[in-house]
């Protein structure tokens, strides 16, 4: 009974995830961190990576995050860089794992991985809070619900009930 357009569902859930993350991040940071949903990328095969959701923020907000990181002399940023970008068996990083290399690069030239690392360093791990909001029984459902053709769903349910009714009639006659 396929009544869901999964591409629409995936996009709606990804957008909702960005909204929820924005709310949690803004609360944790103490200021509004306006995020703009860009896209969700799904790999052809999930053996090396998983879905990735991309959102953008303004350069002014990146500067604000950088200033917060600077307050602890970038100690958390340095730790996050080492955690995320130190090569090991099965992973060869294309980014330096040294803070001084990162700080030598103009902030305006940082890509999504670098800005994302800065955000994680300043924000900390908020995954659990974001997930608890996303899967609270309503948020995820609302995002998914818009991708369902409810009229088609009702038609299918009616068809199945009629089939079941006919099979029940045959079973009682036997």
In a domain, 61, yes or no: yes
Residue 5: CB atoms within 10 Å? 14
Give exposure, 84-106, as e/b (b: 16+ Cβ within 10 Å): bbeeeeeeeeebeeebeebeeee
Predicted pLDDT of residue 1: 53
**In terms of C-beta density within 10 A (0-12 exposed, 13-18 middle, 19 or more buried), how is residue 48 classed?**
exposed
The number of beta carbons lying within 10 Å of the beta carbon of residue 121 is: 22
Domain count, the chain: 1
The answer to whether residue 172 sits within a structural domain is no
pLDDT tier at 46 (50, 70, 90 boundaries)?
Answer: confident
pLDDT of residue 124: 86
pTM of the model: 0.78
> What is the pLDDT confidence band of residue 50, given thresholds at 50, 70 and 90?
confident
Tell me the C-alpha distance between 24 and 128, whole Å: 10
Q: Residue 136: which domain range?
A: 6-149
Domain presence at residue 156: no
Mean pLDDT score, 140-155: 88
Domain-embedded: residue 44:
yes
40 in Cβ contact with 14 (< 8 Å): yes
Report yes or no on 95 lying in a domain. yes
């Amino acid at each position: 009974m396929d009544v869901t357009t999964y591409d629409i569902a995936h996009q709606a859930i990804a957008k909702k995830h960005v909204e929820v993350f924005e709310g949690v991040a803004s609360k944790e940071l103490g200021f509004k961190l306006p995020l703009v949903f860009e896209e969700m990328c799904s790999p052809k095969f999930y053996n090396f990576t998983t879905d990735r959701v991309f959102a953008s923020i303004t350069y002014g907000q990146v500067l604000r995050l950088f200033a917060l990181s600077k307050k602890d002399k970038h100690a958390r940023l340095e730790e996050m860089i080492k955690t995320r970008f130190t090569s090991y068996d099965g992973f060869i990083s294309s980014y330096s794992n040294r803070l001084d290399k990162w700080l030598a690069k103009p902030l305006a030239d940082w890509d999504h991985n670098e800005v994302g690392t800065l955000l994680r360093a300043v924000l900390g791990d908020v995954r659990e809070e974001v997930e608890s909001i996303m899967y609270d029984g309503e948020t995820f459902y609302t995002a998914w619900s818009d991708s369902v053709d409810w009229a088609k769903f009702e038609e299918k349910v009616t068809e199945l009930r009629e089939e079941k009714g006919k099979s029940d009639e045959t079973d009682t006659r036997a």
